[in-house]
Amino acid sequence: MNSPTSQATRLLIMGPPGSGKGTQASLLSEHIGIPAISTGEIFRAIEASNSPESAPVRAIMQSGGYIGDEVTAGLVADRLSQDDCRFGFLLDGYPRTLPQVETLDALLGRSGQTVDAVISLVIDVDDVNGRLLKRADIDGRADDNQETINVRQRVYAEQTAPLLDLYRARGLLVEVDGGGPVQDVAARILTALGR
């Protein structure tokens, strides 16, 4: 079995909403040369479209909820089947629930693959709430208001945080301090992955 620090190419990045996952995923993706796949970006693109799926996706996102496992699994499976994922990927925002872990395990298992490492950004909840409110001012994201932030943090704590224990038990969890300047966090991640 590969250790989580030995040239992993199939990576997950986890952390509470506002922990900087998207920013770090983008930097790490560029450094390693694998695509960063954000389910949040996929959903925001659907939300902004005029497709039949846009209205229900918009309603769920604006309430702070998460899109259902079946829909999310289908989108992820489709994205991972694309040619640029042959040599690896970095998933940001998936899996979020135990059923999603099982689905991802089965999807990768069909081609004899596994997740190589799971990066967990560890950061204080007050810090992430401040980041999200600042992002709302800068980017105008409707899903970054205090009520929605509170819901998203609670859902993360209840549904996603327990996955960290599962990945820790598998020997895949790489915990990284997510506080401080972006480049410092990026350097910590690369060091933790042996890159």
- 168 is known as an active-site residue: no
Is 154 one of the catalytic residues?
Answer: no
Backbone angles phi, psi at 180, to 5 degrees: 95, -175
Catalytically annotated residue among 44, 131, 135, 170:
135
| Catalytic site residue from 10, 21, 58, 188 | 21
Residue among 44, 131, 141, 168 flagged as catalytic: 141
Annotated catalytic residue, options 10, 58, 79, 152 = 152
Would residue 152 show up in a list of annotated catalytic residues for this protein? yes
Choosing from 10, 58, 96, 188, which is the catalytic residue?
Answer: 96
| 141 labelled catalytic | yes
In total, the chain counts a number of residues equal to 195
Give the residue numbers annotated as catalytic, written as ranges. 21, 96, 135, 141, 152
